[in-house]
Chains A and B, each alone.
Chain A
Amino acid sequence: MAEGATAVAGAVKPRRELDRAVVRFAGDSGDGMQLTGEQFTAESAWAGNDVATLPNFPAEIRAPAGTLFGVSSFQLQFGSQRVYTPGDRLDCLVAMNPAALKVHLGDLKPGGLLIVNTSAFDKRNLDKAGYPSNPVDDPTLGERYRLHNVDMTALTHEALKDLLLNTKEKDRCKNFFALGVVSWIYTRPLEPTLEWIGKRFAKSPTLADANTRVLKAGHAFGETAEIFGEHYTIEPAQMAPGLYRAMTGNRALAWGLLAAAERSKLPIVYGAYPITPASGILEELAMHKRFRIRTIQAEDEIAAVTAAIGASFGGAIGVTGSSGPGIALKGEAIGLAVMAELPLVVFNIQRGGPSTGLPTKTEQADLMQALYGRNSESPVVVLAPATPGDCFFVAYEALRVAVKYMVPVIVLSDGFLANGSEPWLIPDVSTLPPIDVEFRTDLEGFFPYLRDPATLARPWVRPGTAGLEHRIGGIEKQDVTGNISYDPDNHDHMVRTRAEKVRRVAQEIPPTTVNGPAGGEVLVVGWGGTFGSITAAAERAQSEGLSVAAVHLRYLNPLPPDLGHILRQYRRVLVPEINSGQLVRVLRAEYLVDAVGFNRVRGLPLSSDEIHHAINQLLGST
């Protein structure tokens, strides 16, 4: 915990100022930890802090209560400066049951705050978590951490004793007791949560009353109970002025499409099959029919992408979204869009794999799949957002490029970005680049594969245009005429042309931003959801006086035209990824640089600590 020197005087209990804090709420999947975390996030955003979150929940919908694999958690970091990641080690852990303590204790800093709901530490739960004896009775726990045993269930019942609710209903309120306590500890405003309670329980005043009472009881408990010696404030962060909202990656992808639909004045057909962690995009889009977003919950992944391609053939914009397993199924159809040279946007919300893998955990191991995972030479544009809010801009960009170049674009988000949220400066939509679609209507000199000299895009014709009737398909075609052709030289020419078309998209890439010195010892190159961890690690190294810079790639195919030059300005290149080394191979192959990977594939975001450590190791090596 980065602590300021001054204790704020005048409060009943001493108040200390912090730069930042990392808090994790952990409990059973039935304990409402996701909601608790989201509310604490809302309170922190309201307090003007920058925030990054990491929800983490089991794949099972109703995992058996009390078990280790049924533990659900929500972590966030909030601070008075830019917060790039949800944090590495915890300053505060709330453990609602023994299983949660067992799973998460290892991440708590020595001396960190440990708040334990003792009422859940009964024999049954201890057995399920595999504790032979009650860990809170072990004195070493209190020596290593600032342990606070709180009987939350009893205190919740006490607060609700005169309310007509059954035991189960009362039990369910205890997460708000925990929220109240932690809100007091970090001096969070309760308003956003009270407002939420009012809205959520508008139809059941008793439950609204109950949750309000328990939240306030938790808050008062922090203030009055003997056990908490002090509490903390975190000053509002210095953030760019403007209007902010909380944004998750999946919602941002969806809203980016809405913006693109509005700007291009074209309907979007979004085909999808339910899959974790991408389903949220389908659900979000289905709510916004007013934007002429037409969603199809297709019969399978293949139908989802082919319906999108059918829509593109019709002059709408076809978009599909899934996770790695679904993308594997869509491969052949993406090849059809490559061949038919139709616009298509494909979202891949990457998760742990292969096969079913870790459906609710994050990973970055589908880069090679996006670049090469189809039969034959099948080049597509590949983009990756860096933060939840960035998903908005990347979705928009993907669509813009897809229609301009008549090419499929794959967007690689991930489970961490999809569910994670950040305070997002709401952009002025008029500053988004235009998406001007011009359908071919001119009969004069028309051929289906006549190309635009700058983009190599073929003309997009809406069926219904008289005189331009033509046929396209997945069979190799003669350039220009579009007639079926098995001619060897034509095929070679078309393979090169399709590749060149994707290469030309490099015209769209702005100069690469280098965070740090323009040359030096180590360049850290990353892509996708590791942006926060890499930036935090690189900036820490810089503040320690080390010669380290960082570059984060949004365009993975084509690569930025200036990247080769930048890579050569540093003695070593480090590529941290949540895979076994995919971008690093691309960079080595593409630029003949001796880049090295830093790879952990644990279903979790990389921590900035471990990246910082890797930077130091690389600096120390010769």
Chain B
Amino acid sequence: MSTTGAGPAATPKYTKKDFESDQDVRWCPGCGDYAILSAIQKSMPDLGVPREDIVFISGIGCSSRFPYYMNTYGFHTIHGRAPAIATGLRLARPDLTVFLVTGDGDGLSIGGNHMLHVLRRNVDVTILLFNNRIYGLTKGQYSPTSELGKVTKSTPMGAADRPVNPLAFALGSGAAFVARTVDRNIPHMEAMLKRAAMHRGASFLEILQNCPVYNDLAWNVIYEKESKLQYELRLEHGKPLIFGPPDDRRAVIMDGVVPKVVKARDVQESALWVHDETNANAAKLLADLFAPDFPVPVGVLYAVDAPIYEDLLLEQEQRAISERGPGDIGKLLTSGDTWRI
């Protein structure tokens, strides 16, 4: 174990290597998780947070092995419960920077309830949801984000349940920061990781991730060069929703209350839909867009400041202490109705 810790005064200049643990990484060859791990390790030095103040918490699943590979504090917990563990940790230690690594099964199936509540409470954690639309660790059953009709080991005739949309779920839960990125787009992933980490409050980042073993190329629409050019919609605050190859630029506009794709050159500039990260309603519409009828939005859908759970609770604690002084058990025991024998 390295002993190059940071003093309280200044955060040392880290490199990616400082965040690599001594454990052998045990994902399948070609797994998208490698790229994500590398991007996270690479982004960490830019956060300016002493390494010892960073905690990675995970549940269960392929993605949840993550904490073992980060040379920070880490806690690999039980299936689905990482959001609740992180909530307790933040309440105990608001000085720590907490990351939560989860997957589509861990975060949206067994842990769906906790995900809902960590988002609505707006606990200050950065949630990285690796969405590969399959259960990998248990060897290939369909997941809550698998498409309807998906044939897997547990659904030989096709899945009968409709998938959940992680971005729409997060927005519906009251998340104040919602973004999407892709494991094969390293620079974008790094940019999104940093934005999510810098945001105060619960930030929800969906990372489209490839599981080459059980669900290869599930996100091919956004991997394959030609189709990526066709469908990727980079969201940028203040910029219109325009996408597509240079010779076929298209725009997403609002037709009444319904989003619609049109040829960009046919639209008046004033009729363009300009992305506004602070518009919750627009974010909810964007969350539902997907190929082939629509482009695939990547980037920050929504980012606003909202009251933070642990801030409010700790303010109450401070107020109680400043108004009435710190607790004194001796005084409490003898307060109220007592009698002497």
Give the interface segment out of A288-296, A351-359, A365-373: A288-296
Q: Which of A239, A296, A318 contacts B341 (CB 8 A)?
A: A239
Q: Are A474 and B85 in contact (CB under 8 A)?
A: no
Q: Which residues of A in the span 225-248 have a Cβ within 8 Å of any Cβ on B? A: 236, 239-246
Among listed B109-117, B254-262, B285-293, interface-contacting one: B109-117
Distance between Cα atoms of A464 and B332 in the complex (Å): 33
Known: A245-B337, A316-B93. A306 touches B78 (CB 8 A): yes
Q: Are B1 and A469 in contact (CB under 8 A)?
A: yes
Interface residues on B, range: 35 or more
**A443 within 8 Å of B by Cβ?**
yes
Bits for A469-496, please: 1 = Cβ < 8 Å to B, else 0. 1111111000000011000000000000
Question: Taking the nearest CB of chain A, how far is it from the CB of B239, in angstroms?
Answer: 38
A296 vs B325: C-alpha distance in the bound complex, in angstroms?
A: 22
Interface residue? B334 (CB, 8 A): yes
Residues of B with C-beta under 8 A to A559: none
Q: Mask for A304-317, Cβ within 8 A of B = 1, else 0?
A: 10111111111110
Q: Which residues of A contact B92 (CB under 8 A)?
A: 267, 269, 294, 310-312, 314-316, 318
For window 35-62 of A, CB contacts with B under 8 Å fall at: 42, 45-46, 48
Interface string of A255-279 (1 = CB under 8 A from B): 1001101100001010100000000
Report yes or no: A471 in contact with B73, Cβ–Cβ below 8 A: yes
User: When the two chains form their complex, are residues B113 and A336 in contact, meaning their CB atoms are under 8 A apart?
Assistant: no
- Interface flag for B15 (CB, 8 Å): no
CB pair A470 B1 closer than 8 Å = yes
Residue A2 CB within 8 A of the other chain: no
Asked whether, in the complex, the Cβ of B67 is within 8 Å of the Cβ of A473, the reply is: yes
Q: How far is the CA of A255 from the CA of B336 in the complex (A)?
A: 14
Which residues of chain B have C-beta atoms less than 8 A from A561's C-beta?
none
The interface stretch among B187-195, B219-227, B271-279, B312-320 is: B312-320
Q: Which chain B residues (105-136) contact chain A, with CB distance < 8 Å?
A: 113-114, 116-117
Given the interface pairs A243-B334, A303-B114, A310-B84, the reply to whether A255 lies near B91 with Cβ below 8 Å is: no
CA distance A134 to B227 in the complex (A): 87
Which of chain A's residues 404-439 have a Cβ closer than 8 Å to chain B?
A: 426-427, 429
Q: Does B268 contact A (CB under 8 A)?
A: no
CB distance from B329 to the nearest CB of A (A): 5
- A307 contacts B91, C-beta separation under 8 Å: yes
> Which B residues touch A472, using CB under 8 A?
74-76
Pair B317/A309 contact, Cβ less than 8 Å: no
Given A243-B334, A269-B91, A290:B75 Cβ within 8 A: no
Chain B hits for A318, CB < 8 A = 88, 92
Further 12 A-B residue pairs, CB within 8 A, beyond A241-B341, A314-B93: A46-B339, A192-B337, A244-B339, A255-B329, A288-B327, A290-B324, A294-B313, A294-B317, A314-B88, A315-B92, A429-B330, A468-B52
Closest 3 CB pairs of A and B: A466-B5, A473-B76, A310-B88
CB<8 Å pairs between A and B, sample of 16: A244-B340, A245-B337, A258-B327, A269-B92, A292-B326, A303-B114, A310-B75, A310-B92, A312-B92, A315-B93, A316-B92, A426-B338, A464-B95, A471-B21, A473-B75, A473-B76
